Amino acid sequence: MSSDGEREQHAQSLLRSVLSRKSEDLYHPLSVMRLYVEIVDKWRDSLTQTQKISLKNVIDEAVASIDKFRQTSRFRNLPDLKKRLEYASKRLV
């Protein structure tokens, strides 16, 4: 986790651009989004307030990206990932 969350925001921007391409394989972007949940699970208590705010913003962007994604039938675990991200975001408040 970067000190100000800049790297994570850049990563989310890259993920968002891949999600917007309808023909791309989304396995890797969705796997990266799962890492956000793991970061919260493992390091939430050791993150600074700045890092928590930044990570929460990135997670909220990931949820918004999933909401806009129209190929939900291709990924059965997408609803579960969305729920896990939403829960992780709430834990950072």
31 within domain boundaries: yes
Q: What pLDDT does residue 62 have?
A: 87
Are residues 59 and 9 in contact, defined by beta-carbon separation less than 8 angstroms?
A: no
Tell me the per-residue pLDDT of 33-80, one tens digit each, with 9 for 90 and over.
Answer: 888 898 899 989 998 898 898 889 889 988 988 887 766 667 778 889
Whether residue 81 is predicted with pLDDT greater than 80 in this model: the reply is yes
Q: DSSP secondary-structure letter at 5?
A: S
What range defines the domain where residue 43 resides? 6-91
Phi, psi of 30 (to 5 degrees): -70, -35
18 within domain boundaries: yes
1 within domain boundaries: no
67 within domain boundaries: yes
* CA gap 4, 50 in Å, rounded: 6
The domain tally of the chain equals 1
Whether residue 22 is predicted with pLDDT greater than 60 in this model: the reply is no
- Nearest Cα neighbor of 57 from 4, 14, 19 is 4
pLDDT band at 10 (very low <50, low <70, confident <90, very high): confident
Please give the structure tokens belonging to residue 18.
């891949």
